[in-house]
Amino acid sequence: MAENVKGITLNQQLVDLLSIIDDVESIEEQDICINDYISKLAERANGYSNGREGFALKYVISSVCKNIDVAEVIMQVYGEKNNTNRDICNSSNVASALYEKLQNYGMTKEDCEKLNTSILKGLKETDFSAKPGILEMKPEDVRNLYNHMFDKDGKSEYNRITMDTCGRYSDFVAIDGKTFCSGNIDRMMKFARKHDINTKINTFMMYSDFPNIYNDYLSKKIENGEITENECKEELKDSLMKYVIEIGSKYGDKISAVDIFNELIYNPGTAEKKDIFTEYELDENGEKIQIDEDKEGHPIYKEAGFVERSQTGWQKYLDLDDLCEMAVVARTVLPNATFTYNDWNWVIPEKRQAMIDIVNRIQQKQEEIRKNGGIKVNDEIKKTLLEKGISIDENGFLKFNENQTIIDNIGLEAHLCTETEPEQLEETVDDITKQTGLSCEVTEEDVAYEKNVEGNKNLAKIMQEKQKRLFSKIEELVAKGKLIGSTIWSLGKSSFTDKMYRYITHASVLDENYNSKLNEKQKTTLEEIDNDNQQGVFKPDALETSFTNLEENRRLSGFQKQTQVVKTLPEEKTVQVNKELD
């Protein structure tokens, strides 16, 4: 297991831009290449977002087929299949339809299959939207980030890159659930290898990463009586496992860590839709119990608390046993990678306990699988493993010994607010370690504060100081050995919380020029900041207005209730700015 992780999160578009600095020596040429990349991305994003009919498909088809007549026929076939019960997910069916239409153009069945595969990959590997902040980047911004990350010899400031939106199921598997699209992750791996940096996949299994189009296709097959619900579950499970096998066998020791499970516990009232409900609660032993039924015997749905997701994404079809079997398969192809259970809002005691409970259940399943010596996989997964040169016995039994693990450590998505106290964070880490016996790591580090405070200079300074205290606390916990490392999540202006709530931002430990905020000259106490306010600009009525939206956000997101007093000069103007939240 990697110790003292110092990580940074990069998406594929950032890596594409940084790679330009690697490949192009002259600053003038770098400027041309960077501006060209961003302008072409903006053009695609604009065409797609403006709802131009079939824009993405037309773009990809024109890229793989230069014959205009043939391209029109292909578009017609895809249009027909897309409008017929989402049958576009059936790649064999689409390839056959292409052959029927294109054989007059001298194309063979094999040609049509290859053409269809190219289109499926193009749809997955071509960006039709920009990641946050990318379109606003200037060439000097890209160089600033590059210079922050690497010294003049190309040696990295960081020892691991978390590959955001690159390597997940939804990034790697086409809409047929079978075709693998490795173009983006290949470029990410090349960049990491050039600079001798480890890579981490976020994530193998996350509820919001569920293939909805493919699921709709399978659901229609259930309605038509073509497959049963259990067969639908097995097909989805097989697709997930094949993806894991493909990633692991293709990249092997290039992957040093994986968030094997991500956000298994529901977090009500935050970024998720309000209409997500559950028909289960968990009893004191962590077992599912069905809640009350109506007069017709149907379960009465109610908004979930901090419970395991059972109606969302992969977990709607696959239970914890299924997911642990996937992890065993992953361990087979990635024997040396660190496997992390990753989740957020650990600082909330109620949610933390729910997450610790599910970690304990995973550990219990791990022990059960060890005692059994492994798991039995179906013939489809057995065949896939053998094709990748992975040994498995003739009965499909995949070995798992007493030294192998399903999870190695706990990942804290530290998407925090400035109202979190540093002591809370340390108490959280201590509690997790004590109850699970696993080490902890900050996997997604950002701390947000309200951007509206910038209208009040003194309040802005206080928020900045509180933010730095939390960043400093994370560094302290790493130095103490209570955390095995931390990974920056947000960069520059982009922010996890900004994407959720719009009015909270400035979350990154790096400023807009990609310098660490902890290296800046800073006040050491809030009292010193208060002493700067000689003009009395810190007005109680401004505070009350400024915090209205922030308090509502904290209420929705479940941030820990707390009361804090901010003092101003003169002394009689002391005001309470954060009342205990309902």
User: How sure is the predictor about 85, in pLDDT bands with cuts at 50, 70 and 90?
Assistant: low
β partners of residue 215: none
User: How sure is the predictor about 450, in pLDDT bands with cuts at 50, 70 and 90?
Assistant: confident
* pLDDT surpassing 70 at residue 538: no
* pLDDT surpassing 50 at residue 28: yes
β partners of residue 439: 409
* pLDDT surpassing 50 at residue 159: yes
In this predicted model, what pLDDT tens digit does every residue of 471-513 receive, in sequence order? 999 999 999 999 999 999 988 665 555 555 545 677 899 988 8
* pLDDT surpassing 60 at residue 283: no
Please report the sign of the dihedral spanned by the C-alpha atoms of residue 78, residue 79, residue 80, residue 82: positive
- Which residue has tokens 């900045």? 464
pLDDT for the residue numbered 282 = 52
User: How sure is the predictor about 188, in pLDDT bands with cuts at 50, 70 and 90?
Assistant: very high
Whole-model pTM: value is 0.83
pLDDT for the residue numbered 462 = 85
pLDDT for the residue numbered 531 = 53
3-state secondary structure of 343: strand
User: How sure is the predictor about 102, in pLDDT bands with cuts at 50, 70 and 90?
Assistant: very high
Tell me the pairing of strands 439-450 and 504-505: antiparallel
Angstrom CA distances, 400 to 329, 332, 341, 407, stand at 9, 8, 19, 13
Residues 210 and 219: their CA atoms lie apart, in Å, by 14
pLDDT for the residue numbered 327 = 97
Which of 207-216, 499-508, 541-550 holds the top average pLDDT? 207-216
- Residue (of 325, 323, 332) closest to 358 by Cα position: 323
Higher pLDDT, 531 or 338: 338
Buried/exposed code over 448-484 (b: 16+ C-beta within 10 A; e: otherwise): bbbbbbeebebbbbbbbbbbbbbbebbeebbeeebbb
115 Cβ contact list (under 8 Å, min separation 6): 64, 65, 74, 95, 98, 107
429 Cβ contact list (under 8 Å, min separation 6): 412, 440, 477, 482, 483
**Overall average pLDDT of the 430-447 stretch:** 96
